[in-house]
Structure 1
Amino acid sequence: MACMFYSLNLNVPVISGLKDTAYQQKINAEIQAKANRDKADFIQKAKQQADDLRKRGFPVIPVTLTITHEVKSKPGDDIFSMEVITDAQMGGTSKPDLDFYNIYNGETAHVITLQELFGPGYREKLNREIGKQIDERIAQGIPYFKDQWHGISDTQGFYVQDGEVVIVFDKYAIAAGYVGQPEFKIPWDGVLHEKAKLPQ
């Protein structure tokens, strides 16, 4: 969809194949609702930017909102994992918004947490391994900002793929912009800890 001052390239995912179809319907509704909010917010900002440029006598350059996704681990395994990327190109340097969906694919589905994946002391384990990888990359000349690294957050983005948990940071958060979204692969033993497999 396009108009004079903006275009939309929306590939909003619809999850299928989960055992818990009620949860599948719920999470799909949440994904669509967020896409609708992002679309409305983008159009409002695009219109405001176009109006401002016209008032100042500058040509209006169309801006673009793109929503894409990538499935990391498919249903059929214990975990379904997917990344949704929302990228609003407003004429300057963009900072994509990343959303991760990591779902236990059981008869009663729920969102998987890092604690369920790594068990007690998960923060210390992950922070130690990520810190080590950051040091290795700095030694290779990659511009990471070690002083901006304060450990993983309560809402840390991650996905599960091929026996590894991949921790993801936003663009600019801990490295120069051209690095993109830094990712750190952490080996995982495949064991879901605590209540992961129990009805919620």
Structure 2
Amino acid sequence: MKKKTIKYMKMGAMGCVAMLGVGAASLSAYALASAPVSANVTVSSKVQATVPSATGVKIVEKVLSTTSKNLIVNIKVPQLDGMLDTRYQNELNGILLSRAQKDLAQWEKDAAKTAKKAKVNHQKFHPYEFYVSYKLKSDGTGNPAGVVSLEVITEGYRGGTSMPRIDTYNLKNASAAQRVTLEDLLGSNYKEKLDADILAQMRKDPDQYFLEEFKGTFTEQSFYIEKGELVIVFPKYSIAPGYVGSPEFRFNLKNASL
């Protein structure tokens, strides 16, 4: 697996940039819909074994606040701690913090603009809400060995339903850290079989999904690793009604290691 620069490490979801006015794709973290049965997938022959760190990567949380009276926030930004490659760790932590700060600034700006407009029109303004949270799905001590998976959830409310964004970060915790891709895990010809397996799971409950909207996985497909399972994630509303949340499809990774 060739080493890739930090700017290419994020595995985003589909291009729903319009959701927050900033950032990449969007998914819900609060109503995740998982397939009831985990299927098996074949692990790529390119995957090489490695011994994970005895202690897993941990999260040091940074909390951001606002002085705006027009915005309610709860922002918890994850900062990785304990990676073998400290330079990579620092770069990633900088990206995570910078992105949250930019998102917050945009929401403060949007809330102030709407509040001003409401005042001019003698309308009541309800404060906007903006949240950032996270889940460390794998700390590097599980299977596949050395793989760290982090999920960051960004969600805002202007009234009505929200269109959250989930960004997933998958990396190999080694002396020279690297991004982990679906191709690294499943091999270069993974797409056809993976797409067929996902569609097969959808067809088990056709009333819950928009089968005609499923176009397959893509290069920057959102996914994470959790307890030895590969979890493929799709944006809210993309292939299912809003009440489903963000559809997830789980697959066992047999004898996988990076």
The partner residue of 2:170 within 102, 109, 114 is: 102
Deviations 1:118-162 (CA, angstroms, capped at 9, x unpaired): 113111121011111111121xx32x1111110012111000011
Structure 2 residue aligned with 1:153: 218
1:5 pairs with 2:109: no
Structure 1 residue aligned with 2:187: 119
CA distance in 2, matches of 1:175, 1:27: 32
Structure 2 residue aligned with 1:165: 230
State the shift of 1:55 in Å: 2.3
Structure 2 residue aligned with 1:180: 245
* TM norm structure 1: 0.90
SS of structure 2 residue aligned to 1:45: helix
1:58 pairs with 2:58: no
Higher helix share: 1
State the shift of 1:190 in Å: 4.2
CA distance in 2, matches of 1:149, 1:69: 27
1:72 pairs with 2:137: yes
RMSD over equivalenced CA pairs, Å: 1.4
CA distance in 2, matches of 1:55, 1:171: 35
Structure 1 residue aligned with 2:52: none
Deviations 1:60-88 (CA, angstroms, capped at 9, x unpaired): 10111100000100133410001000001
CA distance in 2, matches of 1:119, 1:164: 16
Gaps of 5+ in 2: 1-64
CA distance in 2, matches of 1:188, 1:92: 39
SS of structure 2 residue aligned to 1:175: coil
SS of structure 2 residue aligned to 1:166: strand
Moved over 4 A (4+): none
CA distance in 2, matches of 1:170, 1:45: 24
CA distance in 1, matches of 2:103, 2:187: 34
The sequence identity of aligned pairs, in percent, is 34
CA distance in 2, matches of 1:105, 1:94: 34
2:125 partner amino acid: V
1:84 pairs with 2:152: yes
* TM norm structure 2: 0.70
Instruction: Name the structure, 1 or 2, with higher relative contact order (CA <8 Å, separation 6+).
Output: 2
